Structure 1
Amino acid sequence: MRPALPRRAPASSLTPTARVLRLRRRISLLFALTSAVGLVAMAVFAVRSDSARWREQLDHVMDADTSWALGLLETDENGRLATDVLADTVNTGCPPLAVLLTAPDDPDGLTVRHAPAAPCLSVGADVLLEAGRAAARAGDARGFDRRATDGAPVRVFALPFYPPEAAGDEGPQGVLVTVADATAQWDDHRRLVWGVAGSCAVLVLLSAAVGHVLSGRAVRPALTALGQQEAFLADAAHDLRTPAASLRTLAETALRGETDSTDVHRRTLRLAEGMGRLVDGLLTRARLMSGTATVTRQPLRLDQVVEAVVDEAPTEGHHVRVEAEDTVVVADPDLVRRAVGNLLGNALTHGHAPGAPADVRVRVTRDGTLTVEDAGPGLPAEVAGALFERFRSGSGSTGLGLSIASWVAHAHGGTLTAGRSEHGGARFVLRLPAPDARGRGPSDR
């Protein structure tokens, strides 16, 4: 039994990324095929033009030789053709000339009247007769590609001639046949063919590579959008699974009457608020990644933004110190507020031991630097290298807050770094660009 061949996966079973990559391959192939068709057509035209050109040149030279030889043919007093003068002149010349006489009213009845005794190119009598008969039947000059007796390529040219008093419908009296060596022309033509073929192959490969690069650039936005969509869906599925399960557990507990309804409502409200903040963070991060979030850069008092965020933050039971100098930066107020809030919220959540209040220090300096320090356990070594990626934090949270803060910093041309504070906890340093003398930031110049 023959083994079953593997089946190609249907288009509907492919992932969106796989379909985009398959589209890229098809675009690259189509680009290469289009280029190949155009190059092959041009190559065929060039080869045929060169082939016709060298044949026309040889035929032109041989036509001049045969036309000159016609003047050496004489007729005697009886009207018969005399070839003595022609034989004495071109008997050993090159290219060789042969005279073929035709029978009256029979173009195919040719006989060799004269052939050189020691020609420089030797061809068979059948070649001479074939060329002569074709010219006699056509009543005009004809050229042919043939081989000499030693195998060398030659060009055979036949020119019919007529008696002086021939009538308009009378056939030719004979045919002059000459042979020219075509070795040099064939060699040049062969080199041209190989050169054109090699150039076409190189250009097709080059066009395929260029098409692959261009198609990659063309589908890159689609791949980026798909990657962002998949990341967003993964973030949402990962982050919403736990609070959704908690809400379901609370609802089941309330239905069984196993707990106080007031406590259930309080915990439900807390979960709903957390889910709202989570969804808001997911949407903000998705907009930042996709570039759809508009960054409005304007002069902004960073110290005032920080003080407002601290005042609005739930700091009951925690100790937060603010040391702010008058600082102006060029940034988007909403995005900066979110980044500062995320850094402060991270310090309040993770910057203390369980059951102990957080001790957070927030400092703003005139160079546009915001420093948030806590006295907590510090940064875990296993997440220190990828702290600003999604799903990275030290206490089981999603890490979206730090990821969003990092995106905000980079969107403004600034930086966000993490390290160890003087009290052993974590230190986050957000640097935003300060305006120049004309009040513009680096992105506006």
Structure 2
Amino acid sequence: MKGRSGLLRRRSRTLTPTGRVLRLRRRITVLFALTSAVGLITMAVLAVHSDGTRWREQLDQSMNGDISWAIGLLETDSEGRLVTSVLVDTMGTSCPPLSVLLTGPRGSGDKEEGLRVAVAPRKPCLTVTSGVVQDAAKAAVRAGDARAFDRRTTKGEPVRVFAMPFYPPDAAAGEHAQGALVTMADASGQRADHRRLAWMVTGGCAVLVLLSAGVGHVLSGRAIRPALTVLGQQEAFLADVAHDLRTPAASLRTLSETGLRGEADRAEVLRRTLRLAEGMGSLVDGLLTRARLMSGTAAITRQPLRLDQLVEAVVEDTETEGHRVEVRVEETVVVADPGLVRRAVGNLLGNALAHGHAPGEPADVRVTVTKDGAVTVDDAGPGLPPEVAGALFERFRSGSGSTGLGLSIASWVAHAHGGSLTAESGEPREGGAGGAGGGARFVLRLPTGG
């Protein structure tokens, strides 16, 4: 049971949306690296094979010229016997080693039967076993054409063995060869160069595969970044919903239970329930607006807008009973979305009315609109501590126990229009509830139409 629960926990972790996206990134990186590796390895194999073929062909061409010249030095006497004295006296057979092997008499049933060495070097510069020479000659006689092989000397050094058949001067078409000449060349230098090239190509492939894996990792990270952003926004939205609705939902449940038990006046319960429902509706609306702003799906309709008239309308529509709100405006035109700006200004005013006063005292709020497109909301509350002002526009940071969602939305609206929202301590005002503290000042700046 313990092992099964651990397996289920591991599966649940891998099945989270973020985990799936990250797993997809790893798979894309591996696939990118494997694709690059297959291509690079294929090219490397072709390059190494081509180099091996090239140096073998060079040696074969050189030995083919030597043997062709040597065959031209072979003579036949009046009785049809091979004479090799001119070859031995003219060319020499020690370096490169040159061996002449003869087949059995004509008409023999087996072309290879009776192959014997007619000429062999006495002190060859390269020594191989007699079997290597015999095998090379047999292969050339059997094929009726030149043959080359990679072999090793008796000391273990690499050599290239080359054999070519020769025919009598009066040989008819299809007649078997009279014998074969076998020579060899030292291949240690060529093999060393070939091995060096192979290591260089292998190392280069390894570096390029690692580089391609890194590039694939970076590119896949950029590719999945929007998905991770959306997932992060979704998780933040769900966290906001869970955090913000938990308290009013619990309060609504408590009120319902109280009403059912008859422990409170039914009318009062209904009034409190209505206020909670309105607050939850406003909260949900704010959460949806914030989610649209964060995801970039909120359509911003920019148009010339009388900012002073909009602010006056927002103040008139806001419930300010028991509070004092002073409005000072100048005729100002900005280019912005009326709905979003109305929400931002309403959130700033609502924040000042809710938190810009001492407990039990009415709020004293001043709203100012200037021609440079700035809306300033001053309250007479306790002010803003420096450590709070920097993080005030983050969610869950109002400094007074609420979610701070309204200020967060106002900040998003400002930045979406290319403007800004700042918070600072206000200046002391006479008769203000904040006394020497001066309260808080929020300044929303929007681009003007000029």
Q: TM-score, normalised by structure 2?
A: 0.92
Unaligned runs of 5+ in 2: 429-437
Q: What is the CA RMSD across the aligned residues, in angstroms?
A: 2.0
TM-score in terms of structure 1 length? 0.93
2:92 pairs with 1:91: yes
Work out the CA distance in 2 between the residues paired with 1:415 and 1:299. Answer: 18
- TM-aligned CA deviation for residue 358 of structure 1: 0.8
* Structure-to-structure mapping, 1:364-383, within 5 angstroms: 364-380=369-385, 383=388
Q: How far is 1:12 from its partner?
A: 7.9
Q: Please say if 1:60 is aligned against 2:61.
A: yes
Q: For residues 279-290 of structure 1, what are the structure 2 equivalents within 5 Å?
A: 279-290=284-295
2:165 is paired with a residue of what secondary structure?
Answer: strand
Contact 1:409 1:432 in 2 (8 A): yes
Equivalent pair of 2:93/2:99 in contact (CA under 8 Å): no
C-alpha distance in 2 between matches for 1:143 and 1:13: 59
Q: Which residue number corresponds to residue 188 of structure 1?
A: 193
420, 429, 442: which one pairs with 1:428? Answer: 442
CA distance in structure 2 between the aligned counterparts of 1:151 and 1:396, rounded to whole angstroms: 87
Alignment of 1:292-371 (within 5 A): 292-371=297-376
Aligned to 1:69: 70
Cα separation, 2, equivalents of 1:341 and 1:351: 14
CA offsets 1:327-353 (integer angstroms, 9 cap, x no match): 222211111111111011100100000
* Partner-residue secondary structure (3-state), 1:117: coil
Secondary structure of the corresponding residue to residue 379 of structure 1: coil
Once the two structures are superposed, the pairs formed by residues 20-419 of structure 1 within 5 Å of their partners are 20-91=21-92, 94-104=95-105, 105=108, 106=110, 107-380=112-385, 383-419=388-424
Structure 1 position 11, deviation (Å): 6.1
Partners of 2:217 and 2:182 in 1: how far apart? 57
Deviates most, 91-100 or 193-202: 91-100
Q: Contact 1:90 / 1:116 at 8 angstroms: preserved in 2?
A: no
CA distance in 2, matches of 1:313, 1:11: 48
For the Cα contact (< 8 Å) 1:351–1:358, is it kept in 2? yes
3-state SS of 2:254 partner: helix
Retained in 1: the 8 A contact 2:383–2:439? yes
SS at match of 1:103: coil
Match of 1:442 in 2: none
**Partner AA of 2:355 in structure 1:** H
Structure-2 residue corresponding to 1:439:
none
Whole-angstrom CA distance in 2 between matches of 1:66 and 1:324: 108
Deviation of residue 92 (structure 1)?
A: 5.5
- 5+ residue gaps, structure 1, are 437-445
**CA–CA distance in structure 1, aligned partners of residues 181 and 175 of structure 2:** 17
Match of 2:433? none
Question: Is 1:90–1:97's contact at 8 Å kept on the other side of the alignment?
Answer: no
Q: In the alignment, residue 71 of structure 1 is paired with which amino acid?
A: G
Give the secondary structure class of the aligned counterpart of 1:392: coil
Deviation at 1:38, TM superposition (A): 1.7
By how many angstroms is 1:125 displaced? Answer: 2.5
C-alpha contact 2:102 2:178 (8 A) present in aligned 1: yes
The count of residues paired between Structure 1 and Structure 2 equals 433
Does the 8 Å CA contact 1:92/1:120 hold for their aligned counterparts? no
Relative to 1, partners in 2 of residues 1:161 and 1:11: Cα closer, same or farther, differing over 3 Å? farther
SS of residue paired to 2:115:
strand
Letter in 2 for 1:82: V
The runs of at least 4 consecutive aligned structure 1 residues that moved more than 6 Å come to: none
